[in-house]
Amino acid sequence: MQLEVDSIVEGKVTRITGFGVFVQLPTGQTGMVHISEVAQTYVKEIRDFVTENQTVKVKILSIGEDGKISLSMKKAVPAAPRTPVRAASSPGRPGDYEWRPSVQQNASFEDMLNKFKQTSDEKILDLKRSVDGKHGGFARRGPSGGRQS
């Protein structure tokens, strides 16, 4: 069996390091899966995703002239479709973006502009409240010790 770039094969995890996983391929050669190619999500600890002697599917990303084989586990499985997720626990907080704004066909330009201004003002107010909460709710004082306005 010859290894080809972009092919998907099964291999056995032989060694786990802090930067990646070494996988023995069916040809007897060993390739490496970099930590960024282990899973679709952020990987802090590789051992949370794989164990030694585990059989895994990998996609061959490249085969170097020096014989080094670069592999990917996350590209070996089809990616789940991504859908925007809104935080149910904190509606209206800064960063809670509306992916598909509702557009009223019969609204005049002035109505739409007023609605935009109102929404913008609400978001700025929420942001100010959030920042004030992080500063203990106290107003900042200037170099003279008095309150700044």
**For domain 8-72, is the CATH number 2.40.50.140?**
yes
Per-residue confidence of the chain (149 residues) as pLDDT tens digits? 688 888 899 999 999 999 999 999 999 999 999 999 998 888 889 998 999 999 999 999 998 899 899 999 998 887 666 555 555 555 555 555 555 555 556 778 888 888 888 888 888 888 888 777 666 655 555 566 555 55
| Burial of residue 94 (number of CB atoms within 10 Å: 0-12, 13-18, 19+) | middle
Q: What is the pTM assigned to this prediction?
A: 0.52
- Encoding tokens for residue 139? 């107003």
* Cα separation, 74 vs 36, whole angstroms: 9
51-54 contacts, C-beta under 8 A, 24 or more apart: 51/13, 51/16, 52/13, 52/14, 52/15, 52/16, 53/12, 53/13, 53/14, 54/12, 54/13
| Burial of residue 32 (number of CB atoms within 10 Å: 0-12, 13-18, 19+) | middle
Other Cβ atoms less than 10 A from the Cβ of 126: the count is 16
Q: Where exactly are the structural domains of the chain?
A: 8-72, 91-136
